[in-house]
Amino acid sequence: MTTEKAGNDAQVVSTPDKNEIDTKTELSVAEGQADLDVEDVVNAAEQHEFSAEQLRKLLWKVDRILLPAMWVASGTQFADKVSIATQATFGLREDTGLVGQQYSWLTTIFYISFLVSEGPANYVLQRLALGPTVAISMFIWGVIVLCIAFAQNFTQLMVLRFLQGVAECTTYPALLILTASFYTKREHAMRSVIWGSSNSGMDIITSLINYGIGMEAQKHPGGLAAWRGISLFLGSLTIVLSFITYYVFGTPREVRWLNPEEKRMVAIRIVDSQTGTDAQKRAEWKWDQVKVAIKDPQTYFLFFLVLVNSIPNGVLFMMASVVPSFVGMLALALLPKTGYLWARWAMFLITIFGNVAGPLIWTLVPSNIAGRTKKSVTSTVLFVAYCAGNSIGAQVFRAQDAPLYIPAIVVCSTMYGLEIVIMICWRAYYMWENKRRDKAVEAMGLTKQEAEHQGRLNAEMDMTDYENIHFRYTLVTYLTAGYPSIEASVEILLGLQAGGAGTSLHSNRLLDSQLANLTDVIELGVPFTDPIADGPTIQRANTEALSSGVTIRVVLELVRDARSKGLTTPVLLMGYYNPFLTYGEKRLLQECKEVGINGFIVVDLPPEEAVTFRDFCAQEGLSYIPLISPATSDHRMKLLCKLADSFIYIVSRMGVTGATGTLSASLPELLARVKRYSANVPLAVGFGVSTREHFLDLAKIADAVVIGSKIIEIVSQAPAGVQAKKVQQFCAQVSGRSETSSHSITSGLTMSENTPDDLQSKNGEVRVNSTRLDDVELRRVADEDPLDVCENILPPRFGEFGGQYVPESLVDCLTQLEVGFSKVKDDADFWEEYRSYYDYIGRPSRLHLAKRLTEHTGGANIYLKREDLNHTGSHKINNALGQVLLARRLGKTEIIADTGAGQHGVATATICALFGMKCTIYMGAEDARRQALNVFRIKLLGAQVFVVEAGTKTLRDAVNEALRAWVANLDTTHFVIGSAIGPHPFPLIVRTFQSVIGNETKQQMLELTGRLPDAVVACVGGGSNAAGIFYPFSCDPSVALLGIEAAGDGLNTARHSATLTTGSKGVLHGVRTYVLQNEHGQILDTHSISAGLDYPGVGPELSFWKDSQRVTYQAASNVAALSGFRLMSQLEGIIPALESSHAIYGAIELAKSMPKGKNIVICLSGRGDKDVQNVADELPKLGPQIGWDLRF
């Protein structure tokens, strides 16, 4: 092995020669343990030889067998050690004549012996098989505990306690070795906390038993003393457990409960930690590693941190002799009723909480120390500090300080403060050291693949973390493609790479299919017109990019250009499904592979379609990254984890994207939930991350940190020409790397690039990610029943239309809404309550013949279903009442709603006023201008109006903003969507509550005419009134159904809203339906004289009726609508809403084509007083076309 000097005299270790270290497979026949080929292990890890399911099953087996044994061993050692406190309560001090500080010395002598024995114990564990060594030690200490039962005086107790410390000193070092040998870095903390929790858990169990023994002994005076019985019990238990330890404990090479393939899998799992596996039996003691450990600042940070943590721990044992350990209550009655009893108990509890950090500190050894001898030395130092601290702590509570023990309280408080200071200093050291190593690696001239690969090989050669320059003690960025311009985007991508590639993927696991490439990933956002999960920053970036002409084709060429200029960082396309769907999924994936894109994050893809999309990705060797939010159910989480083939994106908080000042306190709990199902797939955390502090905080618990909105902010604020440099500086600062370094500071999450053949020579060898699921597994996931995947109770689709194309954070609330609605839709009590408000809302609404209008047409009879007579002036109150009643049953206290014409806003505000609920209405600025009267009415009713300035400033934009607001406040808020649009179950809910219109119409027509109508006509925007009146007739083929859309300025122009007449299938606002979109999948701007029809989508059921030909759809222009408005006003004395005027015009034309005697019903959905001013404004331009001039 050779060393070289590189950059700032950093020592760089080159690749070991083959003749120095033989890495071929050897077989130790005597031990029956095979050495693994180091190169083979490293390459197998990088190529994902084993599937996610195989690794998941292996981890479960290790947890199932090893963790309980570790828990019991750790807990038994602790229980035996502290049992002296319970024994003191039951007569130990009196029977053995302990006086003064002699009892305290029984604790101190234990730790003194523990201290002096720790070095030899670590040496023995390095040289001998771990399992038998620990088992023998455990057996011996069990015998010693038995002997304590027969001690007669202080001297005998001191000797036995000393020997007990000697025998027990192998346990904790062995537990650290087991943690490092079987688990990856990111698993260390959780597993250590689990086995460390045994200190309390086992103590609770044994304290109960000890207390039982003591109370039983007190019933038989003159028999075996209670404290002696406790020793006999604990000693016998320890001896029995030693035999279990013999079988279970050992390194992966040594244990008998793993087969050869599983042992290989364990090595492959943890190779990326770069702390070494036991793939080869390199157990020789290396004195050079002892010297390295002595010189390493980590050793001293660890020593003093453990020391100051352990001094209060010693206090715990001392106080336990006064207040029993089981919550201080089991033997409380036995204590003398003197003052300060409860104060002592409170202090006891405080010290317990103060020592929770202990097991987490210990995990720093397996996570950050490499080299087996160095690990042993460092572990020795750890336990020397542990023993010294506990010894000191035991002497802090001195008898002469009773009863207040002021000096002891001061010492404990000081130690906790020093603990914080040491951790801050240690963290600063790691930041500095990582930067130094980056410079050294850069000076070596290695490619990223070579550097990562070499780091793993070095670790397997038993190098220390100091020697292995590639080791890192422990950034994925987001940029909207084409922002701030197409040309600048390429330079910014290169700046992200140069600065550390933005959002960090620092992982303890290798995901690459080939050699390790690099650890950072760039998320390239595909702009979309309606990004409902994104906050204002990324919304603006989307809008500007689209105005610059960015399409998917442009995005692909942008990446191709960046690759040709040296971009080697993996690139993921992140966006919404509709542009991908419109482009063609298979075509998109093939072209992405050609230009060098590595995978996809699709924000709003349902799991049942994600399975298919994931299949397509796998066929092209691309990654699919699922998203998981705090609201994701365990059932859904399990499926999403199965779909992951490189990492999982964790949405850190509810709401939309955007930089924030703080991170969610519940994030560790969310990550713990995900890890139950993720089988070690790395976890990347995003949403709200914006600072170096955020990055470092997340680095402790996650494998990757995602930064998006902050980067967009930096780009927007930087002058043209320096945006790339500003981004580079920010990424370098937040990641802690030098700006010129192209190497990651992280330790493992990697993805290899795929680039076109003609770029290979420029960028070096790059490879496509392999899938982590084998073909059989992939097909099994793909074949799962979609309804089971979605957990839907009610049918989520109408044919191919419908579904839930929403951000993950909305799914759980939609599920809750579906469950709630499924309970009330057939609940007689609910509908009785609903009908109890009929007098208030004006139901049933009237139906009558429009005589003069019928005479005017000269054809079929025209009947009017007068929804305009309802309270608030439209059909909207039917749905508003039903949804607010539903929200109340769901426990919601606040209501938000969208509105276009303002009628739904007024209706919702009215019902909220009735029930005393807070109400916020979202309305586009253009609609608010056109419907100023309704805006004022909403405010009069006590609701707030949020005017939306984004986009076209109409209903579509109001829906976008309302959805974003709902995402951020799901716990308390219900979104009363105004039309039959949106994700399931909204279309079903709206149609159900609005069906009162059609049901009444049926009954009323039968009463008036004795038969069903021949045709029913309704205007169609989103579709609420049309769905309400059409649905009850949908199974009556004798009734023709006609929907009239808004043709605006004409279907031959771009200014219309005729979705069903001219639109195509797509996804908008969480639902697959007909939409108005361009050839790139971007939603088009719409126009109508009526604000309520000014929407580029339609309810999915109406789309289904179109394709099934159950409903005929036509379009009426602004001029035609004005004609209907005029005729209804002047012939029937009814001023209709402009929305209804479209249906009136369509019905008139239909009636003219039908013979007399036929019957047509128009759904007169609303009254027109809200539109009078708008009509007055439009008449000078449109009136002359129909001969209507009201100027005077």
Report pLDDT digits (tens) over 75-124: 887 787 777 777 777 788 788 888 777 777 887 787 778 777 767 877 77
User: To the nearest 10°, the Cα dihedral for 348, 147, 385, 356?
Assistant: -30
CA–CA distance, 704 with 682 (Å, rounded to integer): 8
pLDDT: is 286 or 732 the higher one? 732
The predicted model gives 723-744 an average pLDDT of 66
pLDDT of residue 1022: 93
Confidence of residue 589 (pLDDT cuts 50, 70, 90): very high
CA–CA distance, 130 with 170 (Å, rounded to integer): 9
Report pLDDT digits (tens) over 888-937: 999 999 999 999 888 999 999 999 999 999 999 999 999 899 889 899 99
What domains are there in the chain, each with its CATH number? 33-272+289-434 (1.20.1250.20), 477-752 (3.20.20.70), 797-844+870-981 (3.40.50.1100), 988-1186 (3.40.50.1100)
pLDDT: is 986 or 509 the higher one? 986
pLDDT of residue 663: 62
The two three-digit tokens of residue 397, written as one number: 């509570």
186's CB contacts (< 8 A; 6+ apart) are 507, 508, 509, 682, 702, 703
pLDDT of residue 286: 67
Contact 465, 471 (CB under 8 A): yes
pLDDT of residue 409: 73
pLDDT of residue 345: 58
pLDDT of residue 366: 54
First to last CA, the chain: 101
The two three-digit tokens of residue 1111, written as one number: 């409903």
922's CB contacts (< 8 A; 6+ apart) are 896, 897, 898, 899, 946, 948, 958, 959, 961, 962, 965
pLDDT of residue 555: 96
Question: Active-site positions?
Answer: 523, 534
The two three-digit tokens of residue 601, written as one number: 């994050």
CA–CA distance, 78 with 241 (Å, rounded to integer): 14
pLDDT of residue 678: 85
pLDDT: is 507 or 1070 the higher one? 1070
In the predicted structure, residue 208 carries a pLDDT above the cut 50: yes
Q: Flag the least confident range among 702-706, 784-788, 926-930, 1136-1140.
A: 784-788
Report pLDDT digits (tens) over 150-182: 988 988 888 888 888 888 878 877 887 888 788
In the predicted structure, residue 489 carries a pLDDT above the cut 50: yes
Q: Flag the least confident range among 394-398, 451-455, 489-493, 1120-1124.
A: 451-455
The predicted model gives 747-760 an average pLDDT of 36
Answer positive or negative: Cα dihedral of 787, 792, 794, 795: negative
pLDDT of residue 102: 79
Identify the bridge partners of residue 1073 per DSSP, sorted by sequence position. Answer: 1066
pLDDT of residue 48: 54
CA–CA distance, 69 with 130 (Å, rounded to integer): 14
Neighbours of 717 (CB within 10 A): 9
Contact 169, 160 (CB under 8 A): no
pLDDT of residue 667: 84
Q: Are strands 522-525 and 683-686 parallel, antiparallel or unpaired?
A: unpaired
In the predicted structure, residue 785 carries a pLDDT above the cut 70: no
Report pLDDT digits (tens) over 428-485: 877 777 777 666 666 655 555 555 544 444 444 444 444 444 444 334 677 788 888 8
Identify the bridge partners of residue 12 per DSSP, sorted by sequence position. Answer: 4
297 preceded by a cis bond (ω within 30 of 0): no
Average pLDDT over the chain reads: 79
Report pLDDT digits (tens) over 182-192: 887 667 767 87
CA–CA distance, 568 with 909 (Å, rounded to integer): 55
The predicted model gives 273-285 an average pLDDT of 48
> Which secondary-structure segment (H or E) carries 177?
helix 171-182
3-state secondary structure 75-103: HHHHHHHHHHHHHHHCCHHHHHCCCCCHH
In the predicted structure, residue 759 carries a pLDDT above the cut 80: no
pLDDT of residue 121: 77
3-state secondary structure of 628: strand
Q: Flag the least confident range among 350-354, 479-483, 681-685, 960-964.
A: 350-354
Q: Flag the least confident range among 434-438, 753-757, 786-790.
A: 753-757
Using N-to-C axis directions, what is the helix angle for 260-270 and 171-182, rounded to 10°?
A: 90
In the predicted structure, residue 535 carries a pLDDT above the cut 80: no
Q: Flag the least confident range among 18-32, 390-404, 523-537.
A: 18-32
The two three-digit tokens of residue 102, written as one number: 């002699």
CA–CA distance, 742 with 442 (Å, rounded to integer): 7
The predicted model gives 1121-1138 an average pLDDT of 97
Burial of 837 (0-12, 13-18, 19+ CB in 10 A): middle
CA–CA distance, 459 with 13 (Å, rounded to integer): 11
CA–CA distance, 958 with 811 (Å, rounded to integer): 20
Which of the listed ranges 205-214, 397-406, 822-831 does the model predict with the highest average pLDDT? 822-831
pLDDT of residue 1020: 98
The two three-digit tokens of residue 562, written as one number: 């960046």
Report pLDDT digits (tens) over 1019-1034: 999 999 999 999 999 9
In the predicted structure, residue 756 carries a pLDDT above the cut 70: no
pLDDT: is 771 or 851 the higher one? 851
Neighbours of 1189 (CB within 10 A): 10
Q: How do the residues of the chain divide into helix, strand and coil, expressed in percent and rounded to 5? A: 55, 10, 35
Q: Give percent above pLDDT 70 in the chain.
A: 75
Q: Flag the least confident range among 482-491, 678-687, 1118-1127.
A: 678-687
pLDDT: is 314 or 942 the higher one? 942
pLDDT of residue 738: 52
In the predicted structure, residue 30 carries a pLDDT above the cut 50: no
In the predicted structure, residue 1081 carries a pLDDT above the cut 90: yes
What are the Cα distances from residue 426, in Å, to 354, 423, 432? 20, 5, 10
Report pLDDT digits (tens) over 1042-1078: 999 999 999 999 999 999 999 999 999 999 999 999 9
Answer positive or negative: Cα dihedral of 408, 411, 416, 417: positive
Confidence of residue 518 (pLDDT cuts 50, 70, 90): very low
Report pLDDT digits (tens) over 547-584: 999 999 999 999 999 999 988 888 999 999 999 999 99
Confidence of residue 360 (pLDDT cuts 50, 70, 90): low
In the predicted structure, residue 1156 carries a pLDDT above the cut 80: yes
